[in-house]
Amino acid sequence: MTQQDALLDNLARRFEHMGSSVYGVTNVVNASPLYAALSLGAAQDRETLSLLLYADQRQQLGNLLFGAVHYLLLGGIQHPIAEYFASLNSAPHPPDDAYPLFQAFCREYADAIRALVNTRSVQTNEVRRCACWIPAFVMLAQRTGQPLALVEMGSSAGLNLLFRHYGYHYSDGRKTGDLQSPIQLACEVRGDKPPPLAEALPAVVSQIGIDLNPVNLHDPDTVRWLRALVWPEHRDRAALLDRALTVAAGHSLEVISGNALDVLPDVLANTPRDAALCIFHSYTLVYFSKDERNALAQLLLTHSAHRPVYRLSMEWLAGQDGPQIELHSYLNGETQMELLAYAESHGRWIEWLA
């Protein structure tokens, strides 16, 4: 078996899994019937899978491939497959017979798709996750008695850095944030421990984002890519993204381009000293190798010799049953980890544990 054959076999297994367990009915709220059908079709179609041979295999390759097709359709390409996309058609066709048209589209626009999947990355900006960040930020501010200096890894367009400009409504009746904002986020509280909240959000003295390829909100092309990564049936997510982009237009966001391991030392060294230094990230470490994760931990551990460093993570890593919010504290060269909460991947609910 050649290396290419082995890679195609692996891609087929990944798309089979995505079709049944990621986009499929078991995911319910976050399901995409269209992408589920296309994934199962692609798992049997080595010609289409070959478009991904030179893409970064650490990427969510289903989202990357379907995002590329969605991007081209949003750009105005006319093709019968568009009739199956709820984002492009108010009454989309059922997905059962979509695959032959999808396959035809991929053949016709193979060069354009290959260029996209080889150069773009999956970098969604789910602002609804901010509803799960708020209790963690409140807890950290209360524990340290300091304002926050925030650094977000994998910040995409940086929309989560604007969390102070959104309103939050929790199912236990509590509200916080900017209740006049066009972004009002609802979050169900599960379990018997109420998440820590405060009437006023924690003070933030500095905030900066880091991303390999920051989304330039003034570039219509990159904004279209951001929209293309929203699954077609998820009209609420698309509408929320559009409102967040409107809010972002009125603010200045700093998102540095580069590998976090390369740029973090300078960023950390230049954050205000009279604040709790907090790095946070969601669905970012999944793209890190084991060595890169170890290097990140060592970097923060080394920096903690000069000041405490806190890292808040919302990740769903291998071996975990679902997304977890964790606090990693780096204090005087030692590390502590606390499991703070379980959460829905897009922030629709939180179960506080700490």
Same domain, 31 and 176: no
Same domain, 209 and 309: yes
Same domain, 172 and 281: yes
Q: Are 243 and 178 within 8 A, CB to CB?
A: no
Question: Which amino acid appears at position 160 of this protein?
Answer: N
Choose one of 119, 149, 171: the last residue of a domain.
119
Count of residues making up the chain: 354
Q: Are 306 and 284 within 8 A, CB to CB?
A: no
Percent of the chain with pLDDT over 90: 90
Same domain, 114 and 132: no
For 186-204, the pLDDT digits (tens) are 999 999 999 999 999 999 9
pTM for this prediction: 0.93
Q: In a 10 Å sphere around its CB, with 0-12 CB exposed, 13-18 middle and 19+ buried, how is residue 341 labelled? A: buried
Same domain, 184 and 313: yes
Same domain, 155 and 15: no
Choose one of 119, 141, 173: the last residue of a domain.
119
Helix segments in 45-161, DSSP class H: 46-49, 61-74, 99-108, 110-119, 130-144
Choose one of 119, 145, 169: the last residue of a domain.
119
Same domain, 272 and 322: yes
For residue 319, the model assigns a pLDDT of 82
Give the dihedral of Cα atoms 98, 11, 292, 254; nearest 10 deg: -20
Same domain, 142 and 56: no
Same domain, 183 and 45: no
Question: Which amino acid appears at position 246 of this protein?
Answer: T
Which domain range does residue 285 map to? 127-352
What is the number of structural domains in the chain?
2
Same domain, 99 and 163: no
Q: Element (H or E) spanning 277, and its range?
A: strand 276-282
Same domain, 115 and 131: no
Question: Looking at the predicted structure, is the pLDDT value of residue 317 above 90?
Answer: no
- pLDDT averaged over every residue in the chain: 95
Residues 6+ apart with CB under 8 A from 68: 112, 113, 116, 117, 120, 228
Separation between Cα atoms, residue 243 and residue 302, nearest integer Å:
40
Q: Give the model's confidence band at 334: pLDDT under 50 very low, under 70 low, under 90 confident, else very high.
A: very high
Question: Looking at the predicted structure, is the pLDDT value of residue 112 above 60?
Answer: yes
Same domain, 211 and 238: yes
For 272-315, the pLDDT digits (tens) are 999 999 999 999 998 899 999 999 999 999 999 989 999 999 99
For 203-258, the pLDDT digits (tens) are 999 999 999 989 999 899 999 999 999 999 999 999 999 999 999 999 989 999 99
For residue 29, the model assigns a pLDDT of 72
